Every structure is written in C-alpha cells, then in structure tokens.
Amino acid sequence: MTIPKIFTYLLDLFFPNNCICCSQPLVDGESYLCLRCLYELPRTNLHLIADNEVEQRFWGKIPVEKATSFFYYSKNSPFKRILYQIKYHGYKEAGYVLGKYAAADLKKSHFFEGIDLIIPVPLHKKKQHKRGYNQSEWIAKGLSEISGIPYDSFSVSRIVNNPTQTQKATFERHLNTDGIFRLNPSHHLENKHILLVDDVLTTGATIEACARAIQEAANTRISVFTLAVVH
C-alpha cells in the first residue's frame, strides 16, 4: 500500500464515502446516508398519532406516556441494512446522525415536551466491550443533541447478557420476569419522565424489562423511542 492509499483508507474509515444503505458514493453535505435514501426512508410519523401502533405494543404490559419509531423496516426491506451497519459494522456515528434526523422531526411536534431525561437501553458490559459501543447510546446522543434533553447511560445496567439465537424464543417468553436490568443505586431517576431509547422494536420485551427496572425508582414515567420498528 502506498502512502496516499493508506491515507485514503484511513479517510474512508473515519469518513465513509458511501451510503450505508444503498452503497452509492456520498456527495458533499451527505453524511452516512445519501439524500435519496433519506428521502425514501419509510418514516412512521407515528409521533403525530395518539394511541399509535407502537404505543399499542406496550398496552397491558407497561404504562407508556408516548411512543414512536423513526422508520419502518421488514425482513426484505433495503432499509434493514442501516440497522445492521449501525449495530454490527461499527457505524456508531450513523446512529448519532439518524438520531439527529429523527429528533428534528420530533421537535416539530410536542413529543419532547415534559421529558426530563433520555436513557438508552443498556447492553451487558461484556457485549458492549466486545462491540466497542452501545448503538442505542449513539442514537440517544443524537436525540439529546437536537432536543437539548440530557441523556444518561449510567443509571441502568444490563446484568443478564443476550441469549444465543436458539435460546431467544424461550428467553423472550420469560423476559417479563425481573432481573435482566438493574438500577444503579446512585441513580436520580425519581419523579422523572424518561424517554427510553433502543435501535429496533420487535416484540418490545427488552424495552419492557428495562422499563420495569426504571419503574423501581419512585414516580417515574416512561416514553419510548426506537430508530426502527418491524412492520
């Protein structure tokens, strides 16, 4: 590798030049996602709808003040790639950028009103160490940046690691039981309205378990934001 090539390689590493969704080269002003993908992103706009389908997923499980997701994805959706890139391929900053895009939409409505604190669903420390970051924390940072609401990644810990794929079905059936997440004894979550943030919403069981841990702090209220929701 010649020196200029190394330089280009390093630049690509820190400033990727291709869209993380469609792989087309990015132009000036585009960041991680090209304008076409950003335009075609199937935004849910559910924050504009009371009793929306994301809120309904939590009905009968945990009390949720409001809930929304930024975009829809399905098994064969090209937009699913965005989530893989953020979660498994190191594009944590893309989570931050998409969090900012989502927050810009939410800010046009009353969604952020009354929310005191943003908490990303934590990873188990072993998993976070292996991945090097928590993708939900980067999404939360983006939301925080635009909304001006602080984020807190210290008050809740995940004390049980993710199961393997084969254990997952059984695991999710039993996730309602407490003990997956734990409140840090020095938390200050009492009387706060918390926006719980995750990358994707599937069964909602993980968010539900995390919310239950948060509810151990007195007089808390929970709202939910996920970057994507299975449609």
Within the chain, residue ranges assigned H as helices are: 3-14, 35-40, 53-56, 80-88, 92-107, 125-131, 135-147, 165-173, 205-214
Nearer to Zn ion, 38 or 217 (CB): 38
Instruction: Give which of 161, 159, 79, 148 is closest to 115, Cα–Cα.
Output: 148
How many CB atoms sit inside 10 A of residue 207's CB? 25
Site residues (CB under 5 A) for Zn ion? 19, 21-22, 34, 37
How many CB atoms sit inside 10 A of residue 193's CB? 17
Nearer to Zn ion, 18 or 170 (CB): 18
Nearer to Zn ion, 14 or 39 (CB): 39
Least distance CB 84 / Zn ion (angstroms): 14
Length of the chain as a residue count = 231
Least distance CB 97 / Zn ion (angstroms): 13
Angle, CA of 39, 225 and 104, to the nearest 5°: 45
Nearer to Zn ion, 82 or 214 (CB): 82
Q: Token pair for residue 206? A: 């993980």
Q: Token pair for residue 118? A: 């943003």
Nearer to Zn ion, 46 or 94 (CB): 94
Least distance CB 160 / Zn ion (angstroms): 37
Least distance CB 70 / Zn ion (angstroms): 16
Q: Token pair for residue 22? A: 């469609």
Least distance CB 26 / Zn ion (angstroms): 8
